[in-house]
Amino acid sequence: MPQHAGGSLPDALFSADSVRRIDQYVIEQLGVDGFDLMQSAARAAFRRLALRWPGTETLLVLCGAGNNGGDGYLIAANAARHGLTVHCVAVAPTEKLNGDARKAWQKATADGVKVRELAEVSEAELDSLIENAGLIVDAMLGTGASGSPREPFASVIARCNRSGLPTLAVDVPSGLNATTGAAKGEVVQASMTVTFIGRKAGLYTGHGAAACGDTVFESLSTAMKAGDIGENRESGESPIAMLQSWKSVQGWLPRRPANAHKGRFGHVLVVAGDRGFGGAGLLAAEAAARSGAGLVSLATRPEHVTAALARCPSVMVHGLTHGSELPSLLDAATVVVCGPGMGQSAWGQQMLQQVVESGKPRVLDADALNLLSSRVAVPANNQILTPHPGEAARLLNCLVPEIEADRLAAANKLQSLYGGAVLLKGAGTVISAGEAAVDIAEGSNPGMATGGMGDVLSGVIGALYAQINESPAQAATLGAVVHLEAASRASVEKGYMGLIATDVIDALPQVFREAESIIGRREEEE
């Protein structure tokens, strides 16, 4: 994906297998002792624990059999040395430990940590340990685990989640696929996840966006003698995604010179709003107007014209009864946003047909995608598709759980079929443009789980695409991040439950104003 000069660069995200190979490379090629690396990880995790929960007195550490469990034993040892009361339970029998994990268990017991085997702890005792703990450390299942957790892990995870206690996940919440962000069974709901060596893509999308809590990265660069692995390519491992934040994309926004005029910033045509769904088109059009488009037109049902003009007189509104009326409007457009509230009747089918035949750069959303799923896929490099998981499933003729099982793969498959850029909505939105690494928009907002948010997103993307017309991928990523940032700003005032789509539109000017100020300061410094 494109990057920009100045500001922050996106963070590289790796598969779990790649991070394990990087870890192996550090040990075998850079000569770093594996146990020393494990101790560095444990110290980093405990430091984060102490900073986040400084008043914690009692700790329950749950350990598995692999190196993730080894990290847990060393965290328990660190906590004991700092005077905390530590209860440590071996969810996997300690007799199964080997290598560095066994060394970690031995060090913990030598430092006074009493490790109890889960098989020797009754359910009532385990419940008591959880109830009396101030904090849980989850070091049960690491990046090597896949599929649904087996017993006894599944039951222990469920007990931890029911407790409501703050939980620190070590490297990855137990039960989460660190590559895809999928969770096939019970998964720890962490308050914070401290991850090491390389950022894992699954922590930032899908279930990972909810299960990880605050995700903190510790590169262990001092121990590795190699710097931040995100910038170190000596291991030969390539990222599968780039984590894009508001800071990393601000420099993509188009500059506005003093002699700017509306003709320089594109004309967005929104084709949307069949009978009963006029609000969808209006939301998309108003969002486009608030996102810098020079001109915005709305082609909708005649019944919606008066309401649209009353709500947003800066939008040019046209009432259309048949697709044959659309070509003249398409001729004047720079980018077309097609689909919000468009329906799947003859009216919507005619509109989509005209939009596709025009060959204009386009953003296809909602019913345009539902209609597209019944057609033979025809790739177009100048289009952006913005499906939610249900729409993506229809486009790929599969079920939603298959989409959520690997969101990165689903976005890539859609892009290979349809070309251009594909933006798969959801927590940790994924944007694919057919390159080796997809983009993932950092963050999520539960307040956005309400009607109209996707319509606003399509309008934002359409306006940005009209201004950055050479790159649908860049417009899609920028639009996703701007949309999320505006929702975050609106949530500060409105909260999550009361958030509606127009609140996000109202917050857009504040987001762009901040970016303009930052860009201006950078240009002065340069």
Annotated binding site for (6S)-NADPHX: 67-71, 142-148, 171, 280, 341, 388, 455
Q: How far from each other are the two terminal CA atoms of the chain, in whole angstroms?
A: 25
Strands 241-244 and 438-441: parallel
Residue 517 neighbours by CB under 8 Å, 6+ apart: none
Distance between CA atoms of 204 and 197, rounded to whole angstroms? 16
Per the listing, tokens 């639009």 go with 479
Q: Which helix (H) or strand (E) holds 492?
A: helix 472-494
Residue stretches of the annotated binding site: 67-71, 138, 142-148, 171, 174, 280, 341, 388, 425-429, 454-455
Distance between CA atoms of 78 and 168, rounded to whole angstroms? 15
Count the alpha carbons within 13 Å of 78 in the hemisphere toward its beta carbon. 22
Are 458 and 363 spatial neighbours (Cβ–Cβ below 8 Å)? yes
Residue stretches of the annotated binding site for K(+): 68, 138, 174
Distance between CA atoms of 487 and 496, rounded to whole angstroms? 9
Query: What six digits make up the tokens of 299?
Result: 């082609």
Distance between CA atoms of 72 and 15, rounded to whole angstroms? 22
Residue stretches of the annotated binding site for AMP: 425-429, 454
Query: Count of CB atoms within 10 A of residue 141's CB?
Result: 31
Outline where DSSP puts E strands in 11-166: 11-14, 58-63, 85-90, 115-117, 135-139
